[in-house]
Amino acid sequence: MKSAFVLLMLCITLNVASQSDADVLKTIYKQSLTNGKSYDWLNHLSNQIGSRLSGSLGAEKAVAYTKAELENLGLDRVWLQPVMVPRWIRGTKEYGYIESALGKTNTVNICALGGSIATPALGIKANVVEVKNFEELALLGKDSIQGKIVFYNRPMQADLILTYEAYGGCVNQRYKGAVEAAKYGAAGVIVRSMNLRLDDLPHTGSMTYDDLPVNERIPSAAISTNDAELLSTMLKLNTNTKFYFKQNCKQLKDVQSYNVIGEIKGSEFPNEYILVGGHLDSWDLGDGSHDDGAGVVQSMDVLRLLKASGIKPKRSIRVVLFMNEENGLRGGKKYAQESKQKGENHIFALESDSGGFTPRGFSFDCTDASFNQVLNWQPLFKPYLIHYFEKGGSGADVGPLKTESNVLAGLRPDSQRYFDHHHASNDTFDAINKRELELGAATMTSLVYLFDKYGVNPISNLDNIKK
């Protein structure tokens, strides 16, 4: 029975070797859409395990689950890479309100930002100073800010089609807002959620104190976009409006966690590595289905789809499920550090960390010559409505692997709804579309297949591609 199975797989592999690239991609997409595993894996990761913040029980369970599932795929090697990660806990649910007059309050939706300290046990109540940026903060100065709560209210720019540009244009107020406000003696910080729509959901995310002494650190929280609009309106009507908030978060000692790694060994160039991955950790408000459960299961399915499609890679293909992307990037840094120490040659690395929506294409961090090579493959993706091939960023976890000659890439799904869910309590499994998720896995697998077949070669290989 075993010999019959081996013979069948050999026949499939030989058949793939004689197929055109277009036919191989067709096989990959068919396998993913009719026999995919990504949706089932995500169902378990989201609904049976849930949120996976670094250092949490959920993260520990996710490591064990994904390692076991990769072992079930029959890869050549599966292992855990230890990494020390921060452990921040939210504590009891945060509470906040706007006070327009003594005894007259409006409750609002807030959440502590990741890494923030707690408020005093009885909370903080103070007058509010609204600003759009750090320049406005500096103009106001210490006399206007001392003892008050700074309210950062710069919205994401709605007219930018690439929503990550809108996010990048205002996320500094979340990340550095407390540091900047503390310079002027602020009592605390409230930040408008990074969200393009108006709703009642506060969105968390990482913040920093840099080198600020412990006794100068101030609590920092996000407020929903609806409540940010309300607070801004009330401040215009009454400059003496006060804000109250209470949160109980705490930073604990670092704990050990793991990157989860699986590998198919290359048949011709085993010392050339192609990496595909996503981050296993997630914020604690939802179950992290889009950020980044989708990228995790898509990356896992890349290796399964290669095997199921009868593709025997020339180069070693690794899936890496990184730990601690959200609040430290320790997993990505640790993987790159050990890889460099071992002298490993990563010719290509692909990350999925932009949600599980319909794939549109990729952005590439590479030389012009390598990008021209990629553009030669673009017609192969046209039947699947994959059209976005642009130079740009790749991913936070694969970024540390960058060299002068390799290619890094990021999967780019349609992003218009992504920030509705990003770091919020509605980042849940019900927001995932099975077909969109599977299309993403197939798209990633197809690009990995092409890089494995042709390598990173600045010489045009258009003539070698049988459309």
DSSP string across 325-362 = TTTT-HHHHHHHHHHHHHT-EEEEEEE--S-SS-EEEE
- Does residue 325 carry a catalytic annotation? yes
Q: Which of 99, 325, 326, 438 is catalytic?
A: 325
Give the DSSP letter of residue 126.
Answer: E
CA distance 428 to 412: 20
pLDDT of residue 15 exceeding 90: no
Q: Which residue has the tokens 């930018």?
A: 160
Extract the tokens encoding 37. 């595993």
Question: Among residues 390, 169, 201, which one has the least CA distance to residue 283?
Answer: 201
Q: Judge contact between 187 and 124, C-beta under 8 A.
A: yes
How large is the average pLDDT for residues 389-409?
A: 97
Instruction: State the pairing for strand pair 242-246/124-131.
Output: antiparallel
Question: Among residues 13, 97, 26, which one has the least CA distance to residue 312?
Answer: 13
The amino acid sitting at 368 is: D
Q: What percent of the chain has pLDDT over 70?
A: 95
pLDDT in tens, 253-307: 999 999 999 999 999 999 999 999 999 999 999 999 999 999 999 999 999 999 9
Whether the upstream peptide bond of residue 227 has omega within 30° of 0, thus cis, is no
- Sign of the Cα torsion 97, 98, 101, 105 reads negative
pLDDT of residue 393 exceeding 80: yes
pLDDT in tens, 320-334: 999 999 999 999 999
Task: Work out the pLDDT band at 7, boundaries 50, 70, 90.
Answer: very low
Q: Which residues contact 195 (CB under 8 A, 6 or more apart)?
A: 156, 201, 203, 224, 225, 419, 420, 422, 424
Task: Work out the pLDDT band at 361, boundaries 50, 70, 90.
Answer: very high
pLDDT in tens, 139-158: 999 999 999 999 999 999 99
CA distance 325 to 307: 28
Residue 442 phi/psi, 5° resolution?
Answer: -65, -40
